[in-house]
Amino acid sequence: MKKIGTGLCLSGLLLMSAWLTGCSNDAESSTEDGGNTTKEEVVEIKLGYYSSGSADEKVEELIQKFEEAHPNIDVTTQNAPYQQFFQKLDTQIAGNNAPDVWLSDGVLVQKYAERGAAKDLTEWIESDLNQDDYYGLDFNKGSDGKYYAVPQGIQIGALFYNKDMFDAAGVDYPDESWTWEQLKEAGAKLTLDGQDRTADDSEFDKKSVKQYGLTFFNITEGWMPVLKSFGGGVLDEDLKESLIDSEENKEAMNWIVDGMERGILTDPSDLQSFQSPMSPFPSGTAAMRIGIYARVLAANETGINYDVSVLPKGPNGDRFAPVIANSWIVNENSSDEKAEAAWEWVKYWVTEDEVQKEWAELGEAVPVKKSVANSDLFLNSGEQSINKQAFLDSFEFAGTLDTNAVWSEWLQKFNENADQVFLGETSVEDALKQADEEVQKVLDDFYE
Partner 1 sequence: MLKRKPRRLTNDGKWGLFMVSPYLIQFLVFLSFPLIASLYFSFSKYDMLNAPEWIGIENYTTLIQDPVFHKALWNTFYFAVLFVPAQTILALILAVALNQSLKGLKLFRIAHFIPVICSWTVVLYVADAIFNPRFGIANTLLVKMGASPQAWLNDEALVIPVLVAVAVWKGVGYMMVIFLAGLQNVPHDLYEAAEIEGAGTYRKFRHVTLPLISGTTFLVLVLTTITTFQSFEQIYVMTGNMGDVTSAGGPDNASMVLMLYLFQQGFSFLKMGYASAIAWFLFLILFAITLIQLWLQKKWVYYEN
Spatial separation of the C-alpha atoms in residues 149 and 102, rounded to whole Å: 10
**CB 121 → partner 1: shortest distance, Å?**
18
Q: How far apart are CA 44 and CA 101, in angstroms?
A: 12
Among 11, 26, 423, 444, binds partner 1 (CB under 8 A): 423
* Exposed e or buried b per residue across 16-29, where buried means at least 16 C-beta atoms within 10 angstroms of its C-beta: eeeeeeeeeeeeee
Question: Which of 14, 94 has the CB closer to partner 1?
Answer: 94
Written in H, E and C, the secondary structure of 271-297 is HCCCCCCCCCCCCCCEEEEEECCCHHH
Q: Which of 109, 235, 253, 271 binds partner 1 (CB under 8 A)?
A: 271
Rule CB under 8 A: choose which of 93, 190, 290, 373 binds partner 1: 93
177 near partner 1 (CB under 8 A) = no
**Residue 195 interacts with partner 1 (CB under 8 A): yes or no:** no
Q: Is 276 in the site for partner 1 (CB under 8 A)?
A: yes
Please state, in angstroms and rounded to a whole number, the distance separating the CA atoms of residues 229 and 252.
8
Task: Verify binding: residue 278, partner 1, rule CB under 8 A.
Answer: yes
In contact, 401 and 111? CB cutoff 8 Å: no
Residue 76 β-bridge partners: 46
Contact 366, 156 (CB under 8 A): yes
Q: How far is the CB of 420 from partner 1 (least distance, A)?
A: 6
CB of 363 closer than 8 Å to CB of 292: no
Report the C-alpha gap between 370 and 12 in whole angstroms.
56
Instruction: Find the distance separating the first CA and the last CA of the chain, reported in whole Å.
Output: 68
**Which of residues 179 and 415 has its CB atom nearest to partner 1 in the complex?**
415
Contact region with partner 1 (CB under 8 A), list: 175-183, 348-356, 368-376, 405-413: 405-413
Q: Which of 64, 91, 195, 302 binds partner 1 (CB under 8 A)?
A: 91
Which among 170-178, 313-321, 350-358, 401-409 is the span making contact with partner 1, rule CB under 8 A? 401-409
Nearer to partner 1, 278 or 321 (CB): 278
Stretch that binds partner 1, among 72-80, 89-97, 246-254, 321-329 (CB under 8 A): 89-97
Nearer residue to partner 1 within complex by CB, 29 or 279: 279
Residue 384 touches partner 1, criterion: CB under 8 A: no
- Cα→Cα distances 25→19, 45, 75, Å: 10, 17, 17
> Alpha-carbon distance 393 to 221, whole Å?
18
Q: Which is nearer to partner 1, 108 or 137 (CB)?
A: 108
Binds partner 1 by CB under 8 A, chosen from 275, 317, 376, 383: 275
Cα(104)–Cα(112) distance, rounded to whole angstroms? Answer: 9
The answer to the question of residue 416 lying near partner 1 (CB under 8 A) is: yes
**Measured over all CA atoms, what is the biggest interatomic distance in the chain, rounded to whole angstroms?**
93
Sign of torsion over alpha carbons 88, 90, 92, 98: positive
DSSP 102: E
Site for partner 1 in 109-138 (CB under 8 A): 111-112, 115-117
Fill in the DSSP letter of residue 265. B
Residue 434 as a binder of partner 1 (CB under 8 A): the answer is no
Q: Which residues pair with 141 in a beta bridge?
A: 147
Regarding 234 and contact with partner 1 (CB under 8 A), the answer is: no
Q: Which of 273, 316, 384, 389 binds partner 1 (CB under 8 A)?
A: 273
Report the C-alpha gap between 61 and 336 in whole angstroms: 26
Residue closer to partner 1 by CB (options 283, 381) is 283
Minimum CB separation of residue 273 from partner 1 in Å reads 4
Among 272, 383, 396, 448, binds partner 1 (CB under 8 A): 272
Which amino acid, one-letter code, is at 4? I
Q: Provide the 3-class DSSP secondary structure of residue 173.
A: coil
Residues 197-226, interacting with partner 1 (CB under 8 A): 207, 217-218
**Number of residues binding to partner 1, judged by CB under 8 A:** 35
Q: Give strand ranges (E) for 31-115.
A: 43-51, 73-81, 101-104
Q: Does 429 bind partner 1 (CB under 8 A)?
A: no
Residues forming contacts to partner 1 in the complex (CB under 8 A) are: 83, 87, 90-91, 93-94, 111-112, 115-117, 207, 217-218, 268-273, 275-278, 406, 408-409, 411-412, 415-416, 419-420, 423, 425
